[in-house]
Amino acid sequence: MARKKIALIGGGQIGGVLAQLCALRELGDVVMFDIVEGMPQGKMLDIAEASPVDGFDVCLQGTQDYKDIAGSDVVIVTAGLPRKPGMSRDDLIVTNSKIMTSVAEGIKQYAPNAFVIVISNPLDAMVTLCQKITGIPHNRVVGQAGVLDSARFATFIAWELGVSVKDVVAMTLGGHGDDMVPLVRYASVQGIPVMELLEQKYGAEKAKEVMEAMVKRTRLAGGEVVALLKTGSAFYSPASSAIAMAESVLKDQKRVLPTCCYLQGEFGVNGYYVGVPAVLGEKGVENILQFKLDAEEQAMMDKSVAAVKGLVDSLDSILNG
Ligand code: APR
């Protein structure tokens, strides 16, 4: 059986961690494309030279030629500028939509059968653009946002309650902006509602405040890292998150992961990419799991979807104007 092949478009901070994780987990052979001469070749050589130490055996190649991504099963796109302190993800739209246009043309030509995971920001607009240009079916072009946003939420809950992150389940829906929707009602520790545990610890009123603070920190978590790093944005956690999605597809695991998916009526949204729980398997997005939102969650979802629509509309005017 042939080995799986993963193409990484963009070999910067996230791209480098993606390559190392693909290698360590032996997910398949890896090709890293970047426009910077020598850089992807250098990174892949560096990782390959760790293989005898770490004990992985995959082929790693750096390239400036899209031809080399031919036959990829999964393509992960991180090409584009990251944020600097004071910038919102949306401030990147003009530059990154030009970059995404050239990237998507490369994917269309050489890897039209791949499952594509977009990480470049502003995520909801970049994944929309990537699908439009590649023409790859919607269920095979998705964005990574929700796995990371959910992981951030779960991390804060675990720290607050003094429990292992392994036992926390938490999910965010909606767009990858400050209006994302952390689902407080469904956050649990081994099925026990987090709110109940917080109420035991603090009483009802303070429990609400503590949860609100965690929700706020989750929404602004990307910016918190940007402010500390000063020269770029988060890269370890976005890479890990995309790898979970890629692995589910490559190994047909059918994991339920919050994924930026194209919606056709689900959650009352039509024709936009929005974060929802999706079953990821060899066919790509194999199912979207729907459930009833309460009035407050629905209002947050509507606000988040409105922000996504605004972003996608501005994309149209950038491309047409
Ligand atoms: N084609 C391919 N790669 C490109 C192109 C292009 N047209 N233009 C830029 N790149 C490459 C850069 O050379 C750089 O190596 O994209 C890479 C981006 O890497 P970083 O600047 O280190 O950014 P990173 O932290 O990896 O984030 C990438 O993901 O989370 C988002 O907001 C983040 O949009 C940003 C993206």
Question: How would DSSP label each residue in 119-132?
Answer: -PSSHHHHHHHHHH
Residue type, 126: M
The Cα–Cα gap between 241 and 221 comes to 15
Candidate from 18, 34, 90 with most ligand 1 atoms within 8 A of CB, to mutate: 34
| Ligand 1 proximity of 36 Cβ (cutoff 6 Å) | yes
What does the angle CA 155 – CA 148 – CA 92 come to, to the nearest 5 degrees? 130
For residue 232, give the ligand 1 atom closest to its CA.
25
**Does the annotation mark 176 as catalytic?**
yes
| Ligand 1 proximity of 106 Cβ (cutoff 6 Å) | no
pLDDT > 70: percent of the chain:
100
**255-287 confidence digits (pLDDT tens):** 999 999 999 999 999 999 999 999 999 999 999
Which residues sit opposite 142 in a β-bridge?
117
Q: Which residues, other chains included, contact 16 with Cβ-Cβ below 8 Å and sequence gap of 6+?
A: 43, 235
For residue 79, give the ligand 1 atom closest to its CA.
16
Q: pLDDT confidence of 69, banded at 50, 70, 90?
A: very high
The pLDDT score that the predictor gives to residue 8 is: 99
The Cα–Cα gap between 240 and 219 comes to 19
Residue with tokens 């760790």: 50
The CA 212 to ligand 1 mean position distance, Å, reads: 33
The Cα–Cα gap between 253 and 158 comes to 26
The CA 34 to ligand 1 mean position distance, Å, reads: 8
The Cα–Cα gap between 30 and 44 comes to 9
Residue type, 259: T
With a threshold of 0.95, tell me whether the complex ipTM lies above it. Answer: yes
Question: β-strands 255-264, 172-173: how paired?
Answer: unpaired
The Cα–Cα gap between 290 and 185 comes to 15
Q: Which residues, other chains included, contact 134 with Cβ-Cβ below 8 Å and sequence gap of 6+?
A: 104, 107, 108, 112, 116, 141
- Tell me the average pLDDT across 80-108: 92
| Ligand 1 proximity of 143 Cβ (cutoff 6 Å) | no
| Ligand 1 proximity of 237 Cβ (cutoff 6 Å) | no
Q: Is 55 annotated as a binding residue?
A: no
Question: β-strands 60-63, 29-33: how paired?
Answer: parallel
For residue 14, give the ligand 1 atom closest to its CA.
26
The pLDDT score that the predictor gives to residue 88 is: 84
**141-190 confidence digits (pLDDT tens):** 999 999 999 999 999 999 999 999 999 999 999 998 889 999 999 999 99
Q: One of 176, 214, 238, 277 is an active-site residue; which one?
A: 176
Cis peptide bond N-terminal to 122, omega within 30 = yes
| Ligand 1 proximity of 241 Cβ (cutoff 6 Å) | no
Torsion (CA) 231, 236, 237, 241 in degrees, nearest 10: 130
Candidate from 21, 33, 81, 96 with most ligand 1 atoms within 8 A of CB, to mutate: 81
The torsion region of residue 10 among left (phi > 0), alpha (psi -120 to 50) and beta comes to left
| Ligand 1 proximity of 82 Cβ (cutoff 6 Å) | yes
The pLDDT score that the predictor gives to residue 321 is: 66
Q: Is 125 helix (H, G, I), strand (E, B) or coil?
A: helix
Question: How would DSSP label each residue in 52-95?
Answer: HHHT----EEEES-GGGGTT-SEEEE--SPPP-TT--GGGGHHH
The CA 12 to ligand 1 mean position distance, Å, reads: 6
Q: pLDDT confidence of 91, banded at 50, 70, 90?
A: confident
Query: Comparing C-alpha atoms, which of 44, 42, 20, 50 is closest to residue 31?
Result: 44
The CA 77 to ligand 1 mean position distance, Å, reads: 8
Of the listed ranges 209-223, 225-239, 307-321, the least confidently predicted one is 307-321
Q: Is 121 annotated as a binding residue?
A: yes
* 28 DSSP assignment: S
The Cα–Cα gap between 184 and 11 comes to 36
pTM, two decimals, is 0.97
The pLDDT score that the predictor gives to residue 126 is: 96
